[in-house]
Amino acid sequence: MSRVLSRITMLFLALFALSVFADETPSYIKAGQLIDVLNGSTHADQVIVIQNDKIVNVAAAANVTIPDGATVIDLSDKTVMPGLLDMHVHLTSDHRFHGYQGLGISVPRSALYGVLNARKTINAGFTTVRNVGAKGYADVALRDAINDGEIVGPSMRVSGPSLGITGGHCDNNLLPSQFGVKNEGVADGPWEVRAKVREIIKYGADVIKFCATGGVLSKGDSVGDQQYTLEEMQVLVAEAHQHGRKVAAHAHGAEGIKAAILAGVDSVEHSSLIDDEGIRLAKEYGTFLVFDVYNDTYILEHGAEVGMLPESLDKEREIGQLQRDNFRKAFEAGARMAFGSDSAVYPHGDNGKQFAYMVEYGMTPMQAIQAATVHAAELIGWPDTVGAIAPGRYADIIAVDGNPLEDVRVMEDVSFVMKGGEVYKR
């Protein structure tokens, strides 16, 4: 007995010693201007104290004594803010291959694009992303390789394949029947949907994505039409929530948006044709709206050359401007909003270009930055660990030259990136 006890004591001592040695001495960031997204304010001459991967203190420079020989990162000529979050990315897809051009991309190849695109995304200042739709669970592999420190990239929440109806936006309608192509997320009817949610969770999804309506970059469906019945959506959401997974619904059309909100989804992606009743319901249910208001510009300028179908370009012309107008309407009505850009539709790393459109359509720069930090952190389910510079949170910190509150386009060129206390770009 006493031998067992002494072994336990030794083990505890060893663990204690390890934890003491693992605690590195703090490092210090001097911030010329610091954006406090929790309070919507800016403070000059601040010091952020970081230990291991976390922020331990934030205070006015005058109140912090930096010890001699300490590691100091001097960002006193920059504006410092929390690492950004993008709620709608496709890191394992590439903007150069749309429509039939995308059929030649294997799942392993898509995972390798993911390695490249993860790096581009973190270099753009996005230290956390939600990947909503990937073939063959390439997103799960990407997330795990980043978490294990094997490759460079943002922290990821991933969905695996998107669920959808046969022939819908989340199926693949590009080839005739003799090829037998069906996307792996296709499921019809309540029990098939329930089983598919279980299968997707089994293979590593943190979040469930499904298509509630038609889409722009798919063949043969109408962009506004509802796909999935309310009953199917209710079952899907119930099954996902039962396993602690949030649900993101791709939805452009007004009826599909309302059905998704009524079914209890956590966010509506795109939200293009949302009507007054949909906005009212989103507020009542606390549903986040994720409007990807930049990529319309890219689709109309470059879509044809990267293989987007003529019908996709027609659909974009039909809804692009309406989406931006509805972004303004929903924001002014007080709906909850989080930043999501649908990267892969446009080149990865250009995520920050969306800020200017969010400001053009009604937000202040501070509100747009809050949508990409504190609000997105809430949607992704990490409200206390990312999305703000505050004690106890991960040291995910970025900096830009200039003042984004005066000119939000400086967000397109992030000059410093730290994730979890480690510097990735300087």
Kindly list the residues in this chain that would bind Zn ion in the complex (CB under 5 A).
342
209 is catalytic: yes
SS3 percent helix, strand, coil of the chain, rounded to 5, is: 40, 25, 35
Residue 30 is a catalytic residue: no
- Report d(CA 194, CA 291) in Å as an integer: 27
Q: CA–CA separation, 127 vs 372, rounded Å?
A: 11
Q: From the CB of 131, what's the least distance to Zn ion, in Å?
A: 9
Q: In what order do the strands lie in the sheet with 246-251?
A: 207-211, 246-251, 267-270, 288-290
Instruction: Please say which residue, 221 or 342, places its beta carbon nearer to Zn ion.
Output: 342
The least distance separating Zn ion from the CB of residue 246, rounded to whole angstroms, comes to 16
Q: Would residue 215 be called left, alpha or beta, if left means φ above 0 and alpha means ψ between -120 and 50 degrees? A: beta
CB 293 within 8 A of CB 284: no
Instruction: Tell the smallest beta-carbon distance from residue 90 to Zn ion (Å).
Output: 6
Residue pointed to by tokens 């460079």: 152
Strand partners, 75: 31
Choice between 266 and 342, CB closer to Zn ion: 342
Q: Which residues pair with 414 in a beta bridge?
A: 400
The DSSP letter of residue 181 is -
CB of 22 to Zn ion, least distance (A): 39
Instruction: Return the number of the residue (239 or 342) whose C-beta is nearest Zn ion.
Output: 342
| Neighbour-count burial for 285-305, b at 16+ CB within 10 Å, e otherwise | bebbbbbbbbbbebbeebbee
b/e burial code for range 308-320 (CB count within 10 A of at least 16 → b): bbebbbebbebbb
Report d(CA 156, CA 135) in Å as an integer. 16
Write down the catalytic residue from 342, 350, 353, 396: 342
Residue (209 or 419) nearer to Zn ion, CB? 209
What is the spatial distance between Cα 328 and Cα 407, in angstroms, rounded to a whole number? 19
- Tell me the residue number closest to Zn ion, measured at CB: 342
CB of 129 to Zn ion, least distance (A): 12
Cβ at position 329, least distance to Zn ion in Å: 22
Q: Is residue 4 within a helix (H) or strand (E), and if so which, with residue range?
A: helix 2-22
Residue closer to Zn ion by CB (options 89, 141) is 89
Cβ pair 423, 399 in contact under 8 A: no
Closer by beta carbon to Zn ion, 216 or else 358: 216
**Maximum Cα–Cα distance across the chain:** 79
The two three-digit tokens of residue 111, written as one number: 């995972």
Give me the residues paired with residue 157 across strands.
130
Closer residue to Zn ion in complex, CB, 80/265: 265
Q: Can you tell me the distance from the alpha carbon of 366 to that of 5, in angstroms, rounded to the nearest whole number? A: 57
3-class DSSP state of 218: coil
| Residue 43 CB coordination number (10 Å) | 15
Q: Least separation, in Å, of the C-beta of 281 and Zn ion?
A: 22
Query: Nearest Cα to 293, choosing from 342, 329, 347?
Result: 342
Which of 78, 196, 209, 315 is labelled catalytic?
Answer: 209
Q: Which is nearer to Zn ion, 133 or 420 (CB)?
A: 133
- Smallest distance from the beta carbon of 272 to Zn ion, in angstroms? 12
Q: Which residues are catalytic?
A: 209, 342
